[in-house]
Amino acid sequence: MRYLLIDQITEWKSTSTIKGIKNVAMSEDFLEFHFPNHPIMPGVLLLEALVQLAGWLEAKCSGFNDWVLIDKVKKCSFYGFALPGDQVDLEVRSLCRAVSKRKTYRGIGKVNGKKKIVSEFEGKAVQLSKLEDIADQKRFFRILTREFLLS
């Protein structure tokens, strides 16, 4: 099973910052068991949403040549739960200044302005073409950023 956790990319600034949204829907299958009768989005999936957003930042900045695969969580703090019906505002900032295959990011997720997760993580930039079809990813990025509406 594969979770695509970014519902919209709302903003990105060159190589430094990207913002997006994750809508937590009651119909998501992970909520059935986490926890029965008390659905809460798993914290690890909030972290994964931040990592996926970092991947989109790397893809856009590299002309869709690279993607980031996380291999280390330096720190991660949770401040509350994301519940069905919540819209999680996500922001990821690159902490790398030099061009390198090793990338470090800081991410934050908020619901109604209240922190739910703050994390610093790192990973390696890998060739996107080894993971996904480049044309499909470019098209998907246009959908996530709503660029297709401007064409």
Asked if 109 and 46 count as a contact pair (C-beta separation under 8 A), the reply is yes
Any idea what DSSP says for residue 138?
H
Exactly one of 19, 34, 93, 142 is catalytic; name it: 34
34 is catalytic: yes
pTM of the model: 0.94
pLDDT of residue 151: 56
Domains delineated in the chain? 8-143 (3.10.129.10)
d(CA 76, CA 134): 31
Average pLDDT in the chain: 93
Any idea what DSSP says for residue 135?
H
Asked if 17 and 94 count as a contact pair (C-beta separation under 8 A), the reply is yes
Q: How far is CA 22 from the centre of its chain?
A: 8
Taking 90 as the threshold, does the pLDDT of residue 5 lie above it? yes
Average pLDDT of span 11-19: 90
